[in-house]
Amino acid sequence: MEYRRLGRSGAKVSALCLGTMTFGEADEKSFMHKVGCDEKTSFAIMDRALEAGINFFDTADVYGQDGLTERIIGKWFHKEGRRDEVVLATKCRFTMGFGPKANHSGASRLRIMRAVEDSLKRLQTDRIDLYQIHMQDFETPEDETLRALDDLVRQGKVLYIGASNYAAYRLVESLCLSESKHLEKFVTLQAQYSLVKRNLDLEHIPALERFGLGLLPWSPLAGGFLSGKYDKDAPPPEGGRLSRWKDRLAEYGSDHNWAVIEEVKKVAAELGATPSEVSLAWLLTRPTVSSVIFGARSLEQLDDNVKAAALELPHEHQRRLDEVSRLKLDYPYSFMANIQKKW
């Protein structure tokens, strides 16, 4: 397993990060109903991940259902005593709890301070290694969010801070505020990025390179779309996430993306690998990537994905994947590309 710097920090994390969104069996009130795995399987996956060299786990307060995933991880820490072997990341921003919702979501100081204490209790730990804002909050001034996060770092409850699902302009605004007001800076951006979702190439990746942040791609297999088990002319197989989330399958199912899938399958066949391995390995070649977040609902899925860390894409195969998945530029990017011959 390769280890990389966690963005602009000095901490080292595995090139693959265990995403835990599927840990726990949520009921019908949750969008994760019938998609997660039970506690016993979750424990086994975490055990196997550490054995494979994965030292980076990512979760969020809303995963599973109202803190369920964090509680499972906390039980595992308590049972196994392996907290110090894990670089632990979690997030807050979205609605938690039942009843009046006025301060149960967002990135206000009030919400963040409550959310951290709740996560620490559920996770049965004294600190969170990487605390991320799950999405920018349009209603809360960014300096309020940053001051709360800065205080948490000074208190030792949080070691590093990160952004997730931020627009590029807001991310840059945040970094500039941190610089001018001498506040803790984000070290990473967690965002959706894959062979069929490369929008970050336009603004985010250049910003990350400019400010030295690391990218933590989520949904690297596009919900399973890049696994190779979906066919353009056949209904989705039962049991997969996209068989339940048909709107996402429709979003991914463009002619462009089916062409990407076909090239991924060709590359996989030539290298004796799976489409999933190839898709993950491609991400590990991309600029600014610190660690790729993948999920697993079984030990078999975990083992298959871990193989990607050892797969080295030859330059020619990487070029083919870059080319087939490249975004079609529109204004103003096409205008600039025509003049400067690049974007």
Cis amide leading into 220 (omega within 30): no
Closest CA to 256 of 292, 223, 293, 225: 225
Backbone dihedral angles phi then psi of residue 133, each to the nearest 5 degrees: -85, 120
| pTM exceeds 0.85 for this model | yes
**pLDDT at 30 > cutoff 90:** no
Which carries the bigger pLDDT value, residue 101 or residue 209?
209
**pLDDT at 48 > cutoff 70:** yes
The DSSP secondary-structure symbol of 60 reads -
Residue 305's pLDDT is 93
Contact 292, 16 (CB under 8 A): yes
Task: Give strand pairing partners of 133.
Answer: 92, 163
Residue 25's pLDDT is 82
Q: Which residues does 305 contact at the CB level (< 8 Å), separation at least 6?
A: 16, 276, 277, 280, 294, 296
- We report the CATH number of the domain holding residue 141 as 3.20.20.100
Q: What is the mean pLDDT of residues 42-70?
A: 96
> Cβ–Cβ contacts within 10 Å for residue 122, how many?
21
Which carries the bigger pLDDT value, residue 99 or residue 129?
129
User: Mean of the per-residue pLDDT values for the chain?
Assistant: 93
d(CA 334, CA 173): 25
Identify the active-site residue in 63, 131, 193, 252: 63
**pLDDT at 238 > cutoff 80:** no
Contact 183, 155 (CB under 8 A): no
List the single range of 97-106, 276-285, 290-299 with lowest mean pLDDT.
Answer: 97-106
Task: Give strand pairing partners of 37.
Answer: 23
Task: Grade residue 34 by pLDDT with cuts at 50, 70 and 90.
Answer: low
**pLDDT at 242 > cutoff 60:** no
- The single-letter code of the amino acid at 154 is R
Residue 326's pLDDT is 96
Task: Grade residue 252 by pLDDT with cuts at 50, 70 and 90.
Answer: confident
**pLDDT at 64 > cutoff 90:** no
Which carries the bigger pLDDT value, residue 246 or residue 157?
157
- Where are the alpha helices (H) located in the chain, listed in sequence order? 39-51, 68-80, 109-123, 142-155, 168-181, 204-211, 241-244, 246-252, 255-271, 275-283, 299-306, 315-325, 333-340
Task: Grade residue 232 by pLDDT with cuts at 50, 70 and 90.
Answer: confident
Tell me how many domains the chain contains.
1
> Cβ–Cβ contacts within 10 Å for residue 19, how many?
24
The DSSP secondary-structure symbol of 190 reads E
What are 270's two structure tokens? 């030539």
Containing domain of residue 315, as a range? Answer: 3-340
Q: Is 63 a catalytic residue?
A: yes
The DSSP secondary-structure symbol of 310 reads G
Residue 236's pLDDT is 65
